[in-house]
Amino acid sequence: MLHYSVGVEPLHFIIVEFSQEADVSNIFFKSTYAENSQIVPVQSLFLWFKAPFKKVKQKPLKKITLEIENGTYIASEDDIKNLLRLEKNISDQMLLLYNTTKLNDVSTRLRFITAHQVELALSGIFPRMMAYPFGSSVNGFGKMGCDLDLVLRLNENSVPSADSRLVFHSKAVTASERSTSQRHMEAIGDLLQLFLPGCSQVRRILQARVPIIKYYQQLADVECDLSMSNMSGVYMSNLLYIMGDIDSRVRPLVFTIRKWAAEVGLTNSYPGRWITNFSLTLMVLAFLQKPGRNPPLLPGLNILIKFAGPEDKFITEDGVNCTFLRNLNKLDFKTENSDSLQSLLEQFFIHYSQFDFHTKAICLNDGSAVTKPDHSPLYIVNPLERGLNVSKNVSLEELEKLKMEMRNAAWILESQESKGMNWGILSLIESKTKYSSTTAKQPKLLEVSKLFDSEETNIDLEFKNGQVENQTINVVNEPVKGRLKRGKSRRQ
The domains found in the chain, sorted by start residue, are: 75-101+249-298+335-446 (1.10.1410.10), 451-492 (no CATH)
The DSSP line for 60-98 is PPPP-------TT----HHHHHHHHHTSSSHHHHHHHHH
Angle in degrees, 0-180, between the axes of helices 277-289 and 232-246, rounded to the nearest 10: 40
What gap in Å lies between CA 125 and CA 271, rounded to an integer? 36
What gap in Å lies between CA 380 and CA 402, rounded to an integer? 14
- The angle at the Cα of 378, spanning 151 to 317, to the nearest 5 degrees, equals 30
Q: Burial, 379: exposed, middle or buried (Cβ in 10 Å; 0-12, 13-18, 19+)?
A: buried
Distances (CA, A) of 396 to 274, 277, 382, 400: 10, 18, 20, 6
What gap in Å lies between CA 17 and CA 405, rounded to an integer? 46
What gap in Å lies between CA 203 and CA 212, rounded to an integer? 9
User: In this structure, are residues 260 and 427 in contact, taking their beta carbons and an 8 Å threshold?
Assistant: no
Distances (CA, A) of 364 to 47, 275, 298, 304, 381: 46, 17, 10, 11, 7
What gap in Å lies between CA 463 and CA 469, rounded to an integer? 5
User: In this structure, are residues 344 and 249 in contact, taking their beta carbons and an 8 Å threshold?
Assistant: yes
User: In this structure, are residues 214 and 200 in contact, taking their beta carbons and an 8 Å threshold?
Assistant: no
**Residue 322: in which H helix or E strand, if any?**
none
* Cross-strand pairs, 150: 133, 226
Q: What are phi and psi of 27, to 5 degrees?
A: -60, -45
What gap in Å lies between CA 73 and CA 106, rounded to an integer? 10
Measured from the Cβ of residue 217, the count of other Cβ atoms closer than 10 Å reads 26
Classify 2 as helix, strand or coil.
strand
Which of 301, 313, 307, 305 has the alpha carbon at shortest distance from 370? 301
Measured from the Cβ of residue 219, the count of other Cβ atoms closer than 10 Å reads 23
Q: How many CA atoms lie within 13 A of 369 on its CB side?
A: 18
What gap in Å lies between CA 464 and CA 310, rounded to an integer? 72
The pLDDT value recorded for residue 439 is 39
DSSP 8-state class, residue 450:
G
The DSSP line for 212-236 is EEEEEETTTTEEEEEE---THHHHH
- The angle at the Cα of 202, spanning 199 to 207, to the nearest 5 degrees, equals 145
Strands 212-217 and 199-205: antiparallel
The pLDDT value recorded for residue 384 is 94
- The reply to whether the predicted model has a pTM over 0.95 is no
Q: What are phi and psi of 138, to 5 degrees?
A: -130, -5
Mean pLDDT by 10 residues, the chain (492 residues): 89 92 92 81 88 73 73 90 93 96 95 95 90 95 95 76 80 83 92 94 90 95 92 94 96 97 92 94 95 82 94 89 93 90 95 94 92 94 94 96 95 82 86 43 46 46 43 42 38 38
Angle in degrees, 0-180, between the axes of helices 396-415 and 341-353, rounded to the nearest 10: 140
Distance from chain centroid for Cα 99: 15
Which of 336, 491, 349, 492 has the alpha carbon at shortest distance from 415? 349
Asked whether the CA dihedral 190, 193, 194, 196 is positive or negative, the reply is: positive
What gap in Å lies between CA 393 and CA 201, rounded to an integer? 28
The pLDDT value recorded for residue 165 is 84
Largest CA distance in the chain: 101
DSSP 8-state class, residue 315:
B
Which of 405, 429, 401, 334 has the alpha carbon at shortest distance from 94? 429
